[in-house]
Structure 1
């Protein structure tokens, strides 16, 4: 017997704001029959393609240490660098830039979401194939 991941839960000071940020990053959507709203203690968003759910759960304390788990994301289209600019415009901030560490056009950028949770932006499948 094995298990599967039902959803990914993320502690948040403001579950609604985090759900908005990540829905814009990933293209995930709310349940139209149970939309998220300001002040909601639990705010799920879903990927229509894969069915994956992220659940943002409001907690009283802020993040205080480095994440023990994080997301590595790839742009579905375009380039890593174009996606980086889009994510910065959405409110992400750069933690560390590791582009080019293995030669031109390689590497990743570590970002933080508005509450300080770290995630990495990798090159797109098109960039990897090229």
Structure 2
């Protein structure tokens, strides 16, 4: 049986990094305000656990994005398909990622995609042409590496 999954990214600023990746991928930021409201009403979380953004409550230390075509659990706002979860951790990034995301823009759109991502806050690390692949290795605003092919 196949398992459901999500990719979890440790980071310093989950909300900011979720916004970057939502813009980069064309994904949507999950709206967990209904879940937070339920947890607050039940006394399970206090005001230190959330912030208000654009008139809704969002977890301070967790933010997720999801593919816009995938279903959402109405009671929680959690995506039920392709998603990335960004969670705050106390330690800063130290070394190269062992897992990274590849964005497939295609040869004709690669440079324009790279420039768009630089405009969102990414950094070009290097251009790579090896093993039959041509891609740009970049870093997101917190230094997490990813490739644009």
TM-score range, shorter chain: 0.7 to 0.9
The residue number in structure 1 matching 2:113 is 83
Counterpart secondary structure, 1:65: coil
The residue number in structure 2 matching 1:93 is 123
Say whether the 8 Å CA contact 1:43–1:56 is kept in structure 2. yes
The residue number in structure 2 matching 1:54 is 84
TM-score (norm 2): 0.69
Which stretch shifts more, 57-66 or 34-43? 34-43
For structure 1, the residue ranges without an aligned partner over 5 or more in a row are: 123-130
Aligned residues: 117
Q: For the aligned residues, what is the CA RMSD?
A: 2.5
Asked which structure has the greater CA Rg, the reply is 2
Q: Distance in 2 between matches of 1:91 and 1:74?
A: 19
For structure 2, the residue ranges without an aligned partner over 5 or more in a row are: 35-50, 71-80
Q: Which 4+ stretches in 1 moved above 6 angstroms?
A: none
**Are 1:113 and 2:133 counterparts?**
no
TM-score (norm 1): 0.78
